[in-house]
Amino acid sequence: MDLSRDWFARDAATVAPDLLNKILRVDVDGDVASGRIIETEAYLPDDPASHAYNGPTARNRVMFGPAGHLYVYLSYGIHRCANVVTGGEGSGQAVLLRAVRPEQGLDTMRMRRERPDAELANGPGKLCQALGIELHHDDVDLLAGSIVSILDDGTPPPREPLIGPRIGISKAVEAPLRFRVPSD
DNA sequence: CATACGATTGACT
DNA sequence: GTCAATCGTATGA
């Protein structure tokens, strides 16, 4: 079932572990690919590592919009990274989707990635390539039955997620804001 | 206008 | 383990 706007409007550090075991589903012209979210990172307001730290810009404006929208940006000029906007409108926070376990549309993902199954979506850029998330999906509303949506299939988040430091950043390096499903 | 640098990945030693 | 690819964005002249 769909999640509510209020569910996404909570703090990023609360939503991030709650997103574990939810389903990320992308429908590109009827070609459906989905996966179970197994790793996330929270980017908070007043967080030096966050794109939103210096206020709204053309790139990060979606982070300051309504919760439950998708924020997609170009990483290292090559890859795409997908985030879920959280918190109250204007607060500028989001949760980075770092890894999913492929569920539906495995053949499509293999075509897009041409990699072993274990490496189809085990990274933020890989997940976007496998599921078909593109830059033009920036600002898509995940609740409106859109091209990209996040669904709750009844699987609860892990009671004790693995918690660690965030990856690939140079500021606030030690903050324990990365969450992962154990043994996955 | 010039330039430095990524919320990464994949190939290679 | 190391390192190049590749370009939009931020920052400063």
A1: pLDDT strictly greater than 90: no
Q: Is the CB of A54 under 7 A from strand C?
A: yes
**pLDDT band with cut points at 50, 70 and 90 for residue A72:** very high
pLDDT digits (tens, 9 = 90+) for A33-52: 999 999 999 999 999 999 99
Q: Decide if A109 contacts A102 (C-beta within 8 A).
A: yes
CB atoms within 10 A of CB A93: 26
- Per the structure, the residues numbered 82 to 121 in protein chain A that have their CB within 7 angstroms of any atom of strand B are 83, 94, 96, 113, 115, 119
